[in-house]
Amino acid sequence: MSIDQTQLLILQAAKTLFTSGIVLVLALLGFRLWRSTLRGLTARLGQRPENRSHERQVRLDTLATVGQATGAVLLGVVAGLMVLGQFADISPLLAGASVVGLAIGLGAKGLIRDVIAGFFILLEDHFGVGDRITINNRQSGRVEHLDLRRTVLRNIQDGSVLTIPNGEIHVVANTTRDWSQLPVDIRVDYAEDIDRVLTILEEVCDDLLVDTEWGTHLLDRPEVLGVEALGESDVTVRVMLKTKPGHQAPVGRRYRALVKKAFDREGVSPPNQQVILTSVEPTRSQRASLASREVAA
């Protein structure tokens, strides 16, 4: 090998190393710029009044972490392929990687679906930790944990823990977003004067509004809507309570207790429960048994 060829190879190797170094430096600078941009955006969003709660801060931090990891993976893959391309032809490698990636994607499509769904749940703020939700009109409870792959609910009735993959969440009913509402149905006897009952319920609404413990959780004065249904032995009157998020159940229990005290004080009768007895014709064996007992007597 001549000196000119040796120098040419050295120059090509130096050029390859220099180009590879430039690619790595640019990838590192790009990642730092991406990370600082995300941190600055997260800090500005966290200073807004609507994002100062702990749940919103957790959501913003999670989104920032996911964004940093995604940017690092993309920049790393692109930079790695560009560096490898300086040393060898990577076309066969790309073809093999596409086949392997396709196989992995088919095998982990459920996981990928869960991660993508979890990302959009966090991004669009469908619900957060502490919210009471109902998923797909079946599973309901309080959100105890939320990440990119799963949502963990605590059932309010029996305390059981429900772990639901985010990819299986299609419809979410959030009962603690901004405010909550609870319809309270009161049943009274047909013989009661309905106008008198409505007046008593209005007075109970005033009593709940000035209640030192539970009145502060109301966002508006309880509204007596009127007669909701006519049953076989009772009349149903509906009252609507609008409360702070998540406080509708205890406020509703307090309102029912006040209604019970008011009804007892004013002498309002509960629904008249009638028990209807029907006669049943005895069977042939029962008649024979009864006849034998009479003969023995």
Of 149, 87, 85, 142, the C-alpha closest to 112 is: 149
Chain position carrying tokens 């990642």:
31
Q: What is the pLDDT of residue 256?
A: 93
Phi, psi of 118 (to 5 degrees): -65, -35
Overall CATH class of domain 3-107: mainly alpha
Q: Kindly tell me the sign of the dihedral angle through the C-alpha atoms of 162, 166, 167, 173.
A: positive
Cα-based torsion angle of the residue sequence 71, 76, 81, 85 in order, rounded to the nearest 10 degrees: 120
Other C-beta atoms closer than 10 Å to the C-beta of 65 total 13
**Domain-by-domain residue ranges, the chain?**
3-107, 124-174, 180-266
Of 156, 186, 151, the C-alpha closest to 59 is: 151
What's this model's pTM, rounded to 2 decimal places? 0.57
Q: Are 181 and 242 in contact (CB under 8 A)?
A: yes
Please tell me whether residue 274 adopts helix, strand or coil conformation.
Answer: coil
Per-residue pLDDT of the chain (297 residues; tens, 9 = 90+): 555 677 777 777 777 788 888 888 888 898 889 888 888 887 887 777 766 766 667 667 777 777 777 788 888 888 887 877 777 666 666 565 565 565 555 556 777 888 888 888 877 778 877 788 899 888 888 888 887 788 999 987 788 899 999 999 999 988 877 788 889 999 999 888 999 999 999 999 999 999 888 888 998 999 999 999 998 888 999 999 999 888 888 999 999 999 999 999 999 887 865 544 444 555 556 555 655 655 555
Q: What is the pLDDT of residue 201?
A: 94
Please tell me whether residue 226 adopts helix, strand or coil conformation.
Answer: strand
Strands 223-230 and 234-243: antiparallel
Q: How far apart are CA 7 and CA 158, in angstroms?
A: 79
- Furthest C-alpha separation in the chain: 136
Chain position carrying tokens 């959780």:
217
- Which tokens in the block code for residue 28? 């590192």
Q: How far apart are CA 120 and CA 112, in angstroms?
A: 13
Q: What is the pLDDT of residue 226?
A: 92
Q: What share of the chain is helix, strand, coil (3-state, %, to 5)?
A: 55, 20, 25
Q: What is the CATH number of domain 180-266?
A: 3.30.70.100
Any idea how long the chain is? 297
Domain topology for 124-174: SH3 type barrels. (2.30.30)
Distances (CA, A) of 36 to 64, 67, 236, 253: 10, 11, 60, 50
Q: What is the pLDDT of residue 293?
A: 56
Q: What is the pLDDT of residue 275?
A: 42
**One fold for 3-107 and 180-266:** no
- Which tokens in the block code for residue 7? 């120098």
Q: What is the pLDDT of residue 208?
A: 93
Q: What is the pLDDT of residue 253?
A: 93
Q: What is the pLDDT of residue 53?
A: 67
